[in-house]
Amino acid sequence: MGLFEEVKDVISDKLGVKLEEVKAESNEEAEKIQTVGDVVKYIEKKTKKAIRLC
């Protein structure tokens, strides 16, 4: 399994999205990520949104 697939699995698991919805292309919000801390904040923000939708 390549790195993209591993990251895709983590994103799918942590954010509760379908694997096919995780794309290599980034959106405007994701393009602002520059540090590991930014990644953590981004995932926490998305996870909180996903939890509220459940």
DSSP-assigned letters across all residues of 1-54:
--HHHHHHHHHHHHHT--GGG--SS--TTGGG--SHHHHHHHHHHHHHHHHHH-
The arithmetic mean of pLDDT across residues 14-21, rounded, is: 86
Q: For the chain, what percent of residues have pLDDT higher than 90?
A: 19
The pLDDT value recorded for residue 16 is: 83
For the entire predicted model, the pTM comes to: 0.56
The pLDDT value recorded for residue 6 is: 92
